Amino acid sequence: MVQFLSVISFVIFIAVVVASSSADNNHDDDATLIAVEKTALELNYGVDVYECDSNLDLLEGTDRAKKVVATLIRICFVPNEETIEAGATIDKVNSFVWSTTTRDGDELVHEAVINGEGDNIMSALTCKDGGKICSLESLLSTNFYGQDTGSAIGIGEVTLTKGAGTVPANRDIFQLNFNVKFTNDDGTEMSEEEKADLFEKANEHNAAIEAGKDKTVNEEVKDEL
Protein backbone atom coordinates (compact mmCIF):
# COMPACT_ATOMS: atom_id res chain seq x y z
CA MET A 1 0.00 0.00 0.00
CA VAL A 2 2.85 2.34 0.91
CA GLN A 3 4.59 1.60 -2.39
CA PHE A 4 1.35 2.30 -4.29
CA LEU A 5 0.95 5.71 -2.59
CA SER A 6 4.60 6.51 -3.32
CA VAL A 7 4.04 5.76 -7.00
CA ILE A 8 0.96 8.02 -7.06
CA SER A 9 2.89 10.84 -5.33
CA PHE A 10 5.71 10.49 -7.85
CA VAL A 11 3.26 10.62 -10.78
CA ILE A 12 1.59 13.75 -9.33
CA PHE A 13 5.04 15.38 -8.86
CA ILE A 14 5.94 14.67 -12.49
CA ALA A 15 2.60 16.11 -13.66
CA VAL A 16 3.17 19.32 -11.67
CA VAL A 17 6.69 19.72 -13.07
CA VAL A 18 5.46 19.19 -16.63
CA ALA A 19 2.61 21.65 -16.15
CA SER A 20 4.98 24.23 -14.68
CA SER A 21 7.44 23.72 -17.54
CA SER A 22 4.62 24.05 -20.07
CA ALA A 23 3.47 27.30 -18.43
CA ASP A 24 7.01 28.66 -18.54
CA ASN A 25 7.31 27.74 -22.21
CA ASN A 26 3.97 29.38 -22.96
CA HIS A 27 5.16 32.49 -21.13
CA ASP A 28 8.36 32.51 -23.19
CA ASP A 29 6.33 32.09 -26.36
CA ASP A 30 4.09 34.99 -25.33
CA ALA A 31 7.12 37.17 -24.64
CA THR A 32 8.58 36.26 -28.03
CA LEU A 33 5.27 37.03 -29.71
CA ILE A 34 5.10 40.42 -28.02
CA ALA A 35 8.63 41.21 -29.19
CA VAL A 36 7.79 40.12 -32.73
CA GLU A 37 4.62 42.19 -32.76
CA LYS A 38 6.54 45.37 -31.92
CA THR A 39 7.27 47.36 -35.04
CA ALA A 40 10.70 48.55 -36.09
CA LEU A 41 9.73 52.13 -35.25
CA GLU A 42 8.53 51.16 -31.77
CA LEU A 43 11.93 49.59 -31.19
CA ASN A 44 13.58 52.78 -32.54
CA TYR A 45 15.15 50.89 -35.41
CA GLY A 46 15.94 53.06 -38.39
CA VAL A 47 18.54 54.40 -40.79
CA ASP A 48 20.42 57.68 -40.82
CA VAL A 49 20.50 59.34 -44.24
CA TYR A 50 23.02 62.05 -45.08
CA GLU A 51 24.81 63.66 -47.99
CA CYS A 52 28.21 62.06 -48.48
CA ASP A 53 31.31 62.36 -50.64
CA SER A 54 32.99 59.74 -52.83
CA ASN A 55 34.53 58.22 -49.69
CA LEU A 56 31.05 57.98 -48.17
CA ASP A 57 31.96 60.53 -45.50
CA LEU A 58 29.41 63.03 -44.17
CA LEU A 59 29.08 66.36 -45.99
CA GLU A 60 27.98 69.37 -43.96
CA GLY A 61 27.40 73.09 -44.43
CA THR A 62 28.87 74.57 -47.59
CA ASP A 63 30.25 71.17 -48.61
CA ARG A 64 26.77 69.90 -49.37
CA ALA A 65 25.55 69.68 -52.96
CA LYS A 66 25.13 73.02 -54.73
CA LYS A 67 22.00 73.83 -56.69
CA VAL A 68 23.81 73.83 -60.03
CA VAL A 69 22.68 71.94 -63.13
CA ALA A 70 24.37 68.54 -63.52
CA THR A 71 25.48 68.41 -59.89
CA LEU A 72 25.64 64.78 -58.77
CA ILE A 73 23.69 64.11 -55.58
CA ARG A 74 25.14 61.38 -53.39
CA ILE A 75 23.45 60.26 -50.18
CA CYS A 76 24.39 57.49 -47.77
CA PHE A 77 22.19 55.19 -45.69
CA VAL A 78 23.54 53.65 -42.46
CA PRO A 79 21.72 51.71 -39.70
CA ASN A 80 21.14 53.77 -36.58
CA GLU A 81 22.55 52.85 -33.17
CA GLU A 82 19.54 50.79 -32.06
CA THR A 83 19.60 48.78 -35.28
CA ILE A 84 23.32 48.10 -34.95
CA GLU A 85 22.88 46.98 -31.32
CA ALA A 86 20.21 44.52 -32.52
CA GLY A 87 22.74 43.07 -34.97
CA ALA A 88 20.76 44.17 -38.02
CA THR A 89 21.95 45.91 -41.17
CA ILE A 90 20.35 47.18 -44.38
CA ASP A 91 18.85 44.40 -46.45
CA LYS A 92 17.54 46.59 -49.26
CA VAL A 93 16.70 50.17 -50.12
CA ASN A 94 13.25 49.43 -51.49
CA SER A 95 12.41 52.84 -52.91
CA PHE A 96 13.53 56.45 -52.98
CA VAL A 97 11.82 59.40 -54.66
CA TRP A 98 13.06 62.96 -55.08
CA SER A 99 10.48 65.72 -55.34
CA THR A 100 10.26 69.51 -55.35
CA THR A 101 7.66 72.17 -56.11
CA THR A 102 7.84 75.19 -58.39
CA ARG A 103 6.56 78.64 -57.50
CA ASP A 104 3.49 77.90 -59.62
CA GLY A 105 2.73 74.86 -57.47
CA ASP A 106 3.80 72.26 -60.03
CA GLU A 107 5.36 69.17 -58.49
CA LEU A 108 8.49 67.63 -59.99
CA VAL A 109 9.22 63.99 -59.20
CA HIS A 110 12.19 61.71 -59.88
CA GLU A 111 12.00 58.04 -58.85
CA ALA A 112 15.62 57.25 -58.08
CA VAL A 113 15.06 53.73 -56.68
CA ILE A 114 12.26 51.37 -57.71
CA ASN A 115 11.92 47.84 -56.31
CA GLY A 116 15.36 48.02 -54.73
CA GLU A 117 17.24 49.12 -57.86
CA GLY A 118 18.38 52.36 -59.45
CA ASP A 119 17.87 52.85 -63.16
CA ASN A 120 21.69 52.90 -63.68
CA ILE A 121 21.22 55.89 -65.98
CA MET A 122 20.15 58.78 -63.77
CA SER A 123 20.57 56.91 -60.47
CA ALA A 124 22.87 54.17 -59.14
CA LEU A 125 22.49 52.31 -55.84
CA THR A 126 25.22 50.28 -54.14
CA CYS A 127 25.59 48.65 -50.71
CA LYS A 128 28.80 47.58 -48.97
CA ASP A 129 29.99 45.57 -45.98
CA GLY A 130 26.91 43.39 -45.76
CA GLY A 131 24.52 46.32 -45.67
CA LYS A 132 26.39 48.40 -43.10
CA ILE A 133 26.27 51.30 -45.57
CA CYS A 134 24.49 51.97 -48.87
CA SER A 135 24.93 54.92 -51.21
CA LEU A 136 22.66 56.41 -53.84
CA GLU A 137 23.95 58.65 -56.63
CA SER A 138 21.36 60.70 -58.49
CA LEU A 139 21.53 63.11 -61.38
CA LEU A 140 18.29 65.08 -61.34
CA SER A 141 16.55 66.68 -64.30
CA THR A 142 17.45 70.31 -65.01
CA ASN A 143 14.08 71.49 -63.67
CA PHE A 144 15.14 70.50 -60.15
CA TYR A 145 17.99 73.01 -60.27
CA GLY A 146 15.86 75.92 -61.47
CA GLN A 147 15.55 79.20 -59.61
CA ASP A 148 11.79 78.77 -59.34
CA THR A 149 12.08 75.64 -57.18
CA GLY A 150 12.84 75.27 -53.49
CA SER A 151 14.54 72.49 -51.58
CA ALA A 152 14.22 68.96 -52.92
CA ILE A 153 12.89 66.28 -50.59
CA GLY A 154 13.88 62.63 -50.82
CA ILE A 155 11.51 60.05 -49.34
CA GLY A 156 12.22 56.33 -49.31
CA GLU A 157 11.83 53.01 -47.56
CA VAL A 158 14.48 50.59 -46.31
CA THR A 159 14.14 46.95 -45.25
CA LEU A 160 16.44 45.77 -42.45
CA THR A 161 17.94 42.31 -41.95
CA LYS A 162 17.23 39.94 -39.03
CA GLY A 163 13.51 40.44 -39.60
CA ALA A 164 13.84 43.88 -38.02
CA GLY A 165 11.23 45.33 -40.36
CA THR A 166 10.90 48.24 -42.75
CA VAL A 167 11.70 51.86 -41.88
CA PRO A 168 11.42 55.24 -43.64
CA ALA A 169 14.49 56.96 -45.08
CA ASN A 170 14.24 60.69 -45.79
CA ARG A 171 16.69 63.40 -46.82
CA ASP A 172 16.42 66.98 -48.07
CA ILE A 173 18.86 68.76 -50.39
CA PHE A 174 19.34 72.29 -51.72
CA GLN A 175 18.36 73.80 -48.38
CA LEU A 176 17.29 77.41 -48.60
CA ASN A 177 18.98 79.86 -46.26
CA PHE A 178 17.05 82.92 -45.16
CA ASN A 179 18.88 86.01 -43.95
CA VAL A 180 16.50 88.36 -42.17
CA LYS A 181 17.63 91.93 -41.64
CA PHE A 182 15.96 94.45 -39.36
CA THR A 183 16.38 98.05 -40.48
CA ASN A 184 15.49 101.46 -39.08
CA ASP A 185 13.41 104.03 -40.94
CA ASP A 186 16.58 105.48 -42.45
CA GLY A 187 17.55 102.09 -43.90
CA THR A 188 20.41 101.39 -41.49
CA GLU A 189 20.57 97.95 -39.91
CA MET A 190 19.35 97.73 -36.32
CA SER A 191 21.81 97.08 -33.53
CA GLU A 192 21.34 94.10 -31.20
CA GLU A 193 19.92 96.45 -28.53
CA GLU A 194 17.42 97.90 -31.01
CA LYS A 195 16.37 94.39 -32.07
CA ALA A 196 15.88 93.37 -28.44
CA ASP A 197 13.76 96.48 -27.83
CA LEU A 198 11.68 95.73 -30.95
CA PHE A 199 11.05 92.13 -29.85
CA GLU A 200 10.08 93.29 -26.35
CA LYS A 201 7.55 95.75 -27.76
CA ALA A 202 6.17 93.05 -30.08
CA ASN A 203 5.75 90.66 -27.15
CA GLU A 204 4.00 93.34 -25.10
CA HIS A 205 1.71 94.08 -28.04
CA ASN A 206 0.84 90.39 -28.50
CA ALA A 207 0.25 89.98 -24.75
CA ALA A 208 -2.13 92.95 -24.76
CA ILE A 209 -4.06 91.46 -27.68
CA GLU A 210 -4.33 88.08 -25.93
CA ALA A 211 -5.46 89.80 -22.72
CA GLY A 212 -8.13 91.62 -24.70
CA LYS A 213 -9.32 88.35 -26.21
CA ASP A 214 -9.55 86.74 -22.77
CA LYS A 215 -11.52 89.71 -21.46
CA THR A 216 -13.92 89.54 -24.40
CA VAL A 217 -14.42 85.80 -23.91
CA ASN A 218 -15.08 86.24 -20.19
CA GLU A 219 -17.64 88.95 -20.87
CA GLU A 220 -19.38 86.73 -23.46
CA VAL A 221 -19.52 83.88 -20.95
CA LYS A 222 -21.00 86.17 -18.31
CA ASP A 223 -23.65 87.37 -20.76
CA GLU A 224 -24.61 83.78 -21.56
CA LEU A 225 -24.94 82.97 -17.85
Do 203 and 100 share a structural domain? no
Q: Is residue 99 assigned to a domain?
A: yes
Do 56 and 30 share a structural domain? no
Q: Is residue 107 assigned to a domain?
A: yes
Q: Where are the alpha helices (H) located in the chain, listed in sequence order?
A: 2-37, 81-85, 192-224
**Residue span of the structural domain in which 169 resides:** 47-173
Report how far residue 72's alpha carbon sits from residue 53's, in angstroms, rounded to the nearest whole number: 10
Domain total in the chain: 3
Do 196 and 163 share a structural domain? no
**Tell me, what's the pLDDT at 178?**
39
CATH classification of the domain holding 76: 2.60.40
Beta bridge partners of 57: none
Do 130 and 77 share a structural domain? yes
| Boundary of a domain, candidates 173, 191, 206 | 173
Do 55 and 28 share a structural domain? no
pTM of this prediction exceeds 0.85: no
Do 166 and 58 share a structural domain? yes
Q: Which residues of the chain have pLDDT under 70?
A: 1-37, 175-182, 195, 210, 212-225
**Tell me, what's the pLDDT at 85?**
96
Do 117 and 193 share a structural domain? no
Cα angle 50-83-37, degrees, rounded to a multiple of 5: 125
Contacts of 2 (CB under 8 A, 6+ apart): none
Nearest residue to 84 (alpha-carbon basis) of 167, 166, 160, 155: 160
Do 82 and 29 share a structural domain? no
Do 13 and 81 share a structural domain? no
Do 162 and 54 share a structural domain? yes
Do 101 and 138 share a structural domain? yes
Phi and psi (nearest 5°) for 140? -85, 160
Q: Is residue 42 assigned to a domain?
A: no
Average pLDDT, the chain: 80
Do 58 and 12 share a structural domain? no
Cβ 78 vs Cβ 37: under 8 Å = no
**Tell me, what's the pLDDT at 26?**
47
Cβ 133 vs Cβ 156: under 8 Å = no
